Amino acid sequence: MNIYTLEEDIQKIKDRSPDEFNEVAHLTIPFYMFHQKMTNEIYQLEEEKYQITNTELDVLSCLRITGKEDCILSPTKIHERLLFTSGAITKVLKKLEEKKYIVRLSNKYDKRSKLVQLTPLGSEISKKALMDVLAYEEKCFSALSDEEKKTFKALFVKMLKSNTSFI
């Protein structure tokens, strides 16, 4: 779909499939178009500039933000905070360890598992990548005034709160 012919395209959908059409498409289609463009650009930025995936950046950021001063968490804590499967966490941690962004430490409380610690290199990369992502996101929302941004946020929070299955 093209943003410049969006309303015409939505009308065509309505005309051709009236039984399957819902007026909410006027909201959801532009939303999905915006979301897809924004996330694709972010993924491309992370890959090209930092050779890192969004999932890897999520793990590094989780360690930086919630891993206290020493940036250490257990894989279980990372899994709980990011809602990844334990298998996915294992694969991501292995890649991050190969890149020297994390190290695995012995866990004195549980000999079966190893703790994960962010390295100085991992901290530096995650900080730089996150700053670039935030700058891009700021650019994405720059067409909105401060008041529109407040309204946008309030509306999305309202929708999230009205349907707890989202959370």
CATH number of the domain bearing residue 58: 1.10.10.10
Q: What is the pLDDT of residues 13-72, one digit of tens each?
A: 889 988 888 889 889 999 999 999 999 999 999 999 999 999 999 999 999 998 778 899
* pLDDT band for position 141 (cuts 50, 70, 90): very high
Dist. CA 145–CA 122, nearest whole Å = 35
Q: Which residue range is the domain that position 97 belongs to?
A: 53-131
Does residue 83 carry a pLDDT above 90?
no
Assess if residue 61 is contained within a domain: yes
pTM of the shown model: 0.80
The pLDDT score that the predictor gives to residue 167 is: 53
Assess if residue 101 is contained within a domain: yes
Assess if residue 91 is contained within a domain: yes
The pLDDT score that the predictor gives to residue 149 is: 96
Assess if residue 127 is contained within a domain: yes
Assess if residue 66 is contained within a domain: yes
H or E segment to which residue 115 belongs: strand 114-118
* pLDDT band for position 166 (cuts 50, 70, 90): low
Assess if residue 32 is contained within a domain: no
The pLDDT mean for the chain works out to: 91
**CB within 8 A of 151, min separation 6: which ones?**
none
State both tokens at 3: 């943003």
**Domain count across the chain:** 1
Comparison of pLDDT for 82 and 69, the residue scoring more: 82
Assess if residue 85 is contained within a domain: yes
